[in-house]
Structure 1
Amino acid sequence: MPTLSIQKIKPKVETLVLAADLAGTVVFAIEGALSAMRGGLDLLGVMVISFVAALGGGVIRDVLMARVPLVLHADIYATAAFAGAFVVVIARRAGLPPGVAALAGGAVCFVLRVLAVTYGWHLPKASLSAVA
């Protein structure tokens, strides 16, 4: 009878969780942007609603698991949500249908997150050393 090793399963489970996190970020960022636009918000309002929608679930998940929220140490996480929402706004203002705008924004958000995870991209961090 074959035995099941946790060491063999763990990478697969982590990959599955990461894929679900990527998909959730994309779906909620784009839906937040489209909803905010339907509500008549300006660009800043759309970006804020998209950001909160995209990152809120992940933050709650991490807090409930007693972990530092991913958004606080994986900068591209939030940047990808902003980029996807920005593409949705630009596409809609250019006259593209909501579905096409959503696909374009979702693709930008997803590709940025996948590239960031694959290549270990991070935004620059501010130094706390004294500036003279």
Structure 2
Amino acid sequence: MAPPTLVHSRAEIWNRYREQFSDPEKYQCHLKSITQHECTFQVSKNKPPEIICLPFKRIFQRCLENTITKDKSGNKIKSQKWVNFEVTDESTNQDLMSEEKYGKDVNDFLSAEKELRKLMEGELQ
């Protein structure tokens, strides 16, 4: 399992990495992407639960950043490290909103989420 990661607002990212966004070649920046799947269960009384998953694309910009660290004796060491920051925005997953491509899957997913929520709330009462 990955370690916990701090979540920053879009404004914080843009302020912190302004130079990398304005001059990506200087920082050897390039884009990386992954596809994650958001999954839920469709619960039915007559059959086993069905798993419904939707693909969700995430895009990251990866840049080489200069850093200064200290060794055991306190001496400063200049080095470089790769930094990834997410640049996914509302247009990245627009194809999920396409009726012809994922419309049925999205509707099934949302319906299953509602049913699962009702079931879980009923169990807690």
Structure 2 length as normaliser, TM-score? Answer: 0.27
Decide which structure has the larger Cα Rg and report it.
Answer: 2
Structure 1 length as normaliser, TM-score? Answer: 0.26
> RCO higher in 1 or 2 (8 Å CA, sep ≥ 6)?
1
More helix by percentage: 1
More strand by percentage: 2
